[in-house]
Amino acid sequence: MKTLVIGGGGREHALVWKLKQSPLVEKIWCAPGNGGIAAEAECVAVDAGDVSAVIALAKKIQPDLTIVGPELPLVNGLTDAFRKRNWPIVGPSKQAAQLEGSKIFSKEFLERHKIPTAKMYGTFESVRKAYAALSSASWPLAIKADGLCAGKGVFLAGNAEEAKEFIAHVLEKKELGPGGNRILLEEALGGEELSFIILTDGKSYAPLVPTRDHKRVFDGNEGPNTGGMGAYSTDDLLPDELRKGVIASIVEPTLRGLAADGIPYQGFLYIGLMLTKSGPKILEFNCRLGDPETQAIVARMDFDLAEVLKDVADGKLDASKLRWKAGASVCVVLASGGYPGEFASGKRIGGLTAVGQNSGVKILHAGTKREGDTVVTSGGRVLGVTASGSSLNAAVSTAYKACTKIRFDGMHYRKDIGAHGTRLTAAGG
Ligand code: AMP
Q: Which atom of ligand 1 is nearest to the CA of 283?
A: 16
Tens of pLDDT, residues 327-369? 999 999 999 999 999 999 999 999 998 887 777 899 999 999 9
Euclidean distance between CA atoms 353 and 13, whole angstroms: 17
H helices present in 247-386, as ranges: 252-260, 293-298, 305-313, 352-356
* Centroid of ligand 1 to alpha carbon of 192 (angstroms): 11
Cβ(142) – ligand 1 distance below 6 Å: yes
The residue whose CA is least distant from atom 11 of ligand 1 is 283
Strand locations in 188-339 (E): 192-200, 205-207, 211-213, 216-218, 222-225, 230-234, 267-276, 279-286, 328-335
Cβ(189) – ligand 1 distance below 6 Å: yes
C-alpha distances (whole Å) from 227 to each of 30, 148, 199, 340, 365 are 21, 13, 22, 8, 14
* Centroid of ligand 1 to alpha carbon of 268 (angstroms): 19
Average pLDDT of each block of 10 consecutive residues along the chain (429 residues)? 98 98 98 97 98 98 98 97 98 98 97 97 97 95 94 92 97 95 97 93 96 94 93 95 96 96 97 96 97 97 98 98 98 97 97 82 97 96 97 96 96 95 56
* Centroid of ligand 1 to alpha carbon of 188 (angstroms): 8
* Centroid of ligand 1 to alpha carbon of 47 (angstroms): 28
Is residue 79 within 8 Å of 91, Cβ to Cβ? yes
Cβ(191) – ligand 1 distance below 6 Å: no
The residue whose CA is least distant from atom 12 of ligand 1 is 193
* Centroid of ligand 1 to alpha carbon of 164 (angstroms): 18
